[in-house]
A and B are shown apart, each in its own frame.
Chain A
Amino acid sequence: MSTEVTDKTPAAAPPGGNGTGTGDGLLQLMLDGMRRNMRQYGMLIALGLIVALFAVWTDGDLLLPRNVSNLVLQNSYILILAIGMMLVIIAGHIDLSVGSLTAFVGSMAAVFMVRNDMPWPLAVVLCLAVGAIAGAVQGFFIAYGGIPSFIVTLAGMLTFRGLTEIFLEGQTLGPFPKGLQKLANGFMPEVGPETNYHNLTLLLGFGLIALVVLQEVRDRRRQQEFALDVLPAKLFLLKLVALAAAVLTVTLLLASYKGAPIVLLILGALLVGFGYVMRNAVIGRHIYAIGGNLPAAKLSGVRDKKVTFLVFLNMGMLAALAGLVFAARFNAASPKAGLNFELEAIAAAFIGGASMSGGVGTVLGAIIGGLVLGVLNNGMNLVGIGTDWQQVIKGLVLLAAVGFDVWNKRKVGS
């Protein structure tokens, strides 16, 4: 034990900031960043391994264009919920009501469209509003009423499940208008000349690549403008090529089947949108701040109650979207829809790097976590593992993912 007064910094890398962006300070920075996001990188690698394992096990069936397309459709509603759940968990809360809320909104959709023949775009807007209101009510009790989110959403879970059965009178209602069905099962329309690929999807893919490259280049220029460190030119080029290749692979896979599913576009928009908000918007920062240290955030002038309220309102809206997609996919609203969805979404968030105590996690992480579960489901189905063992395995994966993170943190000693 040292008795002298210490004020040293650990393993100081040379402080950068000369604008020309050279070398080792940066490499150090990247390594640091990687270590800090160990769970996410670890899970990305784990996802890769799981995909590879099942690709081999199923003789490549997993990666058939048709199956990839299916995978997206099958998991879309869980992924939508996982995005919202990640925000809730980052803010230091939990939401157990989303499965029931999904079913409830599905039942409302059926009441609007099947019973009352409402035009589907109007019904969709109304359903989203219903979800937002449901979320807002719960958010109100949590943020302003000071009731723990676990309790409020547990009550919500029971209430919305009950209301679903009341509205549906215990029956399954369907079918839905064609327009809504497209939301879950549709693909982008085919246009233009006959190629072996889906033209619009290709176009979209190329457009996306161009956008990503442009954004990266602009970002880099801005960094230089502010005289901050940037990636060395060669490394930067490598990053661009890697990004482009990833987007291209997925594009080609999807384009060689029916093209990009509509839900994938929705998911992509949500991922980019929420990712941007959580990273760059003031409100996103405030969500991290209240989850990381609530008293400090309050004393910094963060309107914690308003932020909490909005997080739950948003969760309700996303649950409504998931409910619509789910109802549309099965072309019916059922009282048993969305069972255990809340648990899948919570598991996805934790596998994807969220922390029980809040303040940690990314939207991309939620997607990765959701995909790990989704690929496991799909792969195990393909090789014929029963649902009984599937649950056992998924449970163990969740335990292992969080256990690995805890162990890793203890080792680093932070």
Chain B
Amino acid sequence: MAGPVLEMRSIVKTFPGVKALSDVTLTVRQGEVHAICGENGAGKSTLMKVLSGVHPHGTYEGEILFEGEACRFKDIRASEQHGIVIIHQELALVPYLSIAENIFLGNEHATRGFIDWNETLRHAAELLRRVGLAEHPETRVADIGVGKQQLVEIAKALSKKVKLLILDEPTAALNDEDSGKLLDLILQLKDQGITSIIISHKLNEIRRVADSVTILRDGRTIETLDVKDPRTTEDRIISGMVGRDLEHRFPERTPHRPEEGAAPALEIRNWTVHHPIDQQRKVVDDVSLEVRRGEIVGIAGLMGAGRTELAMSVFGRTYGRYADGTVLKDGREIRTKTVPEAVAHGIAYVTEDRKHYGLNLIDTINRNISLSALRKVARRGVVDEHEERQVAEGFRKSMNIKAPTVFEPVGKLSGGNQQKVVLSKWIFAGPDVLILDEPTRGIDVGAKYEIYTVIDQLAAQGKAVVFISSELPELLGMCDRIYTMAAGRLTGEFSRAEASQESLMRQMTKDKEVTR
């Protein structure tokens, strides 16, 4: 085999408050397809951003050697000049420009600022042939599907004389057919001598295209394995991804004992939701699950598994296009077509993205807490500010929200404290069922423990809790039962005793074909 084309040595990257990469070493050989895998937050995307110059030289420690030469990229342009091109998870195409315009955006065939359209179209057509996309170069990008858009991105990369192509979860948004085509293309490019790095969760994909795989965990390189080696089984990769350390601690939980006969607090039957734009795609596919009072039920899944989409579509149909399914509360079917209806039926949803969907950052703590249940502190449509303030003060103390007063704008609080405000808001609404979506994302260990304690207390008060998380240790530490999801489907259900990181991960990385 050929020698290394890329070496990244002891890369360390810190963000304010978080160490994203603590010691990563990556060696990619000339002409291979190299997979990188790891849990959400393991540092995969950060590593690729360091490599491509999104995080410029000087903001990280360690060194990068490309084709034997030390690289100090100050931006993406610099890395692209060396032939390193990254295709991000969210495609960076301008929807209302044509395919050809997109391919050469920022890199136009032009003389003295005027575009040479003949050359542009000719070259675009040639690139489209190379990636196997049968579309006219003048077609608008908005008019082609996501799978084809992905190919346009690759054509764009080829136009930049790419030597090392980085694909960040390229198939996450694609259906099976498009995924297959894309993987074939990667293999074709490999034959043409282009080295690829592919970030993926899907183990069957890795087995299909990759030559070697590097596993990251908690910002460290765990190991690099040769995929063709018979000892590199899926189980082997999974155990590398999850590791063994349980560094977070959890409050002591007395496991829930379901009452005899009582109907589940919340039951979802045959829930199916289509993607809001790409309506052929089922984002949530025939999911049925139930939660009982006093129970904490986890939903495990990797990015794109459809967990958030499931929760949001149940909570007032705030995501996607509803296709089928019913929601039952205490055994009776309920309507949850709008958020007010869902709230009135005692359902609360604590969103994954608290900054965009959870809080009004320019407003104060007290007004954020009262928002979803303003009528509780209002009489005849008039808010009693004193009562509101007293309620908020109560939460500030009981939830230990670190702020001098409840009149502090929420935007000034740390992530952990913001999360406590969101939780307070929904606890104040007095729900029977709480759906918590990644409630501990991006917050530090101490605040995590406080939030676990609150969740535990909620369950002890007889509330039903659905706990969505990408961190398996916290699901294992907190939940009575855990469902796994992959590609929009429920792929498994585990009792507390049965669940382990390995067993969960195996179901989470199952792709559709495997389950069928």
The answer for the CA separation of A296 and B367 in the assembled complex, in Å, is 13
Q: Is the CB of B17 within 8 A of A6?
A: yes
Instruction: Give bound CA distance, A5 to B404, whole Å.
Output: 20
In the complex, residue of chain A having the shortest beta-carbon distance to the beta carbon of B443: A7
Shortest Cβ distance from residue B366 to the other chain A in the assembled complex, whole angstroms: 11
Give Cα distance in the complex from A285 to B374, angstroms.
Answer: 9
- Given A280-B382, A280-B383, A414-B409, are A303 and B340 also a contact pair (CB < 8 Å)? yes
Interface presence of B403 (CB below 8 A): yes
User: Which residues of the partner chain B approach A228 to less than 8 Å between Cβ atoms?
Assistant: 386, 389-390, 393
A356 to chain B, nearest CB (A): 13
Contact assessment for A289 and B403 in the assembled complex, using a CB-CB cutoff below 8 Å: no
Hey, what's the 0/1 contact readout for B366-409 against A, CB within 8 Å counting as 1?
01001110110010011101110110010010000011110111
**Chain B residues whose C-beta falls within 8 Å of the C-beta of A25 in the assembled complex:** 404-405
Tell me the chain A residues, 341-360 only, with Cβ under 8 Å from chain B: 359-360
Q: Is the CB of B383 within 8 A of A3?
A: no
* Residues on A with beta carbons closer than 8 Å to the beta carbon of B409: 36, 414
Q: Which of A222, A292, A302 has the most CB of B within 10 A?
A: A292
Q: Flag if A295 contacts B356 (CB, 8 Å).
A: yes
Known: A5-B444, A296-B356. A10 touches B340 (CB 8 A): no
Given the complex, which residues of B lie within 8 Å of A299, measured CB to CB? Answer: 315-316, 318, 339, 349, 351, 357-358
Contact: B359 with A1, CB < 8 Å? no
A295–B375 Cα distance when bound, in Å, is 20
A405–B31 CA distance with the chains assembled, in angstroms: 56
Do A28 and B404 have beta carbons less than 8 Å apart? Answer: yes
**In the complex, are the beta carbons of B360 and A293 less than 8 A apart?**
yes
> Which of A17, A222, A296 meets B357, CB within 8 Å?
A296
CA distance A4 to B414 in the complex (A): 14
**Which residues of chain B are near A227, meaning CB under 8 Å?**
390
Check B386 against A298 for contact (C-beta < 8 Å): no
Q: Is the CB of A300 within 8 A of B339?
A: yes
A369 to B36, CA, bound (A): 58
Q: How many residues of A contact B (CB 8 A)?
A: 53
Q: With CB as the reference atom, state the residue of chain B lying closest to A29.
A: B405
A5-B18, A289-B363, A292-B363 as given contacts; A300 in contact with B371, CB under 8 Å: yes
With contact pairs A297-B360, A301-B339 given, residues A7 and B381 touching in the complex (Cβ less than 8 Å): no
Q: A7-B402, A228-B389 are in contact. Are A293 and B361 (CB under 8 A)?
A: yes
| Interchain nearest-CB distance for B368 vs A (Å) | 9
A contact residues around B412 at 8 Å (CB): 10, 414
Are A5 and B17 touching (Cβ within 8 A)? Answer: yes
Q: Which residues of chain B come closer than 8 Å to A223, judged between CB atoms? A: 386
Option from B362, B389, B413 in Cβ contact (under 8 Å) with A359: B362
Contact B404 A302 (CB under 8 A): no
Least CB distance, B92 to chain A, in whole angstroms: 23
Residue of B nearest to A360 (CB): B362
Does A235 reach chain B (CB closer than 8 Å)? no
Determine if B425 is an interface residue (Cβ-Cβ < 8 Å).
Answer: yes
Distance in angstroms between the alpha carbons of A32 and B403 in the assembled complex: 13
Q: CB-nearest residue of chain B relative to A292?
A: B360
From residue B165, how far is it (CB to closest CB) to chain A in Å? 31
User: Which residues on B sit within 8 Å (CB–CB) of A7?
Assistant: 402, 414, 416-417, 444, 446-447
Residues of chain B contacted by A17 (CB below 8 angstroms) = 393
Whole-angstrom CA separation of A288 from B446 in the bound complex: 33
Shortest B276–chain A CB gap in Å is 14
B396 — which chain A residues lie within 8 A by C-beta? 15
Q: Which residue of chain A has the shortest Cβ distance to B364 in the bound complex? A: A36
Contact A6 B414 (CB under 8 A): yes
* Chain B CB within 8 A of A392 CB: no
B407 in contact with A226 (CB, 8 Å): no
Minimal Cβ-Cβ distance residue in A for B372: A300
A14 to B409 Cα, complex, angstroms: 17
Cβ-defined contact, A226 with B16, below 8 A: no
- Contact call A15/B383, Cβ cutoff below 8 A: no
**B402–A8 touching, CB < 8 Å:** yes
B284 interface residue (CB < 8 Å to A): no
Q: Say whether A12 contacts B414, CB under 8 Å.
A: no
Complex Cα gap A227–B378 (Å): 19
Query: A9-B404, A292-B363 in contact; A281/B383 too (CB < 8 A)?
Result: yes
A296 to B312, CA, bound (A): 12
- CB pair A13 B358 closer than 8 Å: no
> How far is it, in angstroms, between the C-alpha of A298 and the C-alpha of B396 when the chains are bound?
24
In the complex, the answer to whether A285 meets B382 with C-beta atoms within 8 Å is: no
Tell me the complex Cα distance, A80–B405, Å.
35
Neighbouring B residues of A12 by C-beta, 8 Å = 402, 404
Interface: B208 (CB within 8 A): no
Q: Does A2 contact B (CB under 8 A)?
A: yes
- B19 in contact with A3 (CB, 8 Å): yes
Q: Enumerate chain A residues within 8 angstroms of B357, measured Cβ to Cβ.
A: 295-296, 299
- How far does the Cβ of A250 sit from chain B's closest Cβ, in whole Å? 27
Contact present for A282 and B16 (CB under 8 Å): no
| A297 to B370 alpha-carbon distance, docked (Å) | 12
Q: Which residue of B lies closest to A26 (CB)?
A: B405
Kindly report which residue of chain A lies nearest to residue B445, judged by CB atoms: A5
Q: Is B14 an interface residue (CB 8 A)?
A: yes
Decide if A16 is an interface residue (CB 8 Å cutoff).
yes
Chain B proximity of A375: nearest CB distance (Å): 30
Inter-chain contacts of A3 with B (CB < 8 A): 14, 19
B274: shortest Cβ distance to chain A, in Å? 20
A401 to B343, CA, bound (A): 42
Q: Distance in Å from the Cβ of A409 to the closest Cβ of chain B?
A: 11
Q: Min CB distance, B314 to chain A, in Å?
A: 13
List residues of chain A with CB within 8 A of the CB of B325: none
Residues of A within 8 A of B367 (CB): 285, 288
Q: Give the residues from 412 to 467 in chain B that come closer than 8 angstroms, CB to CB, to chain A.
A: 412-414, 416-417, 425, 444-447
B346 within 8 A of A: no
- B411 proximal to A (CB < 8 A): yes
Q: Is A283 an interface residue (CB 8 A)?
A: yes
B213 CB to nearest chain A CB (Å): 29
Which residues from 1 to 24 on chain B have a C-beta closer than 8 Å to any C-beta of chain A?
14, 16-19
Q: In chain A between 162 and 180, which residues have their CB closer than 8 angstroms to a CB of chain B? A: none
CA distance A197 to B318 in the complex (A): 62
Which of A5, A228, A283 has the largest number of chain B CB atoms within 10 A?
Answer: A5
Nearest A residue to B404, CB-CB: A13
Complex Cα distance A103/B402, Å? 53
- Measured CB to CB, the closest approach of chain A to B159, in angstroms, equals 36
Q: Mark A273-296, 1 if CB is under 8 A from B, else 0.
A: 000000111111110110011011
A-contact 0/1 string along B216-238, CB 8 Å cutoff: 00000000000000000000000
Shortest CB-to-CB span from B401 to chain A, Å, is: 9
Verify A282–B359 contact, CB threshold 8 A: no
- Contacts A7-B416, A282-B381; is A2 near B17 (CB within 8 Å)? yes
Query: Which residues from chain B sit less than 8 Å from chain A, CB to CB?
Result: 14, 16-19, 315-316, 318, 339-340, 342-343, 349, 351, 356-363, 367, 370-372, 374-375, 378, 381-383, 385-387, 389-390, 393, 396, 402-405, 407-409, 411-414, 416-417, 425, 444-447
Q: Which residues of A contact B (CB under 8 A)?
A: 1-17, 25, 28-29, 32-33, 36, 222-223, 225-228, 279-286, 288-289, 292-293, 295-303, 359-360, 414
Known: A13-B404, A300-B339. 19 other contacts (CB 8 A): A2-B16, A3-B19, A5-B445, A5-B446, A7-B414, A9-B404, A12-B402, A12-B404, A15-B405, A28-B404, A29-B405, A225-B386, A280-B383, A283-B381, A286-B374, A293-B356, A293-B359, A299-B349, A414-B409
A-B contact pairs, 12 of them (CB 8 A): A7-B416, A8-B402, A8-B414, A16-B405, A226-B389, A227-B390, A289-B360, A289-B371, A293-B359, A296-B360, A299-B349, A301-B339
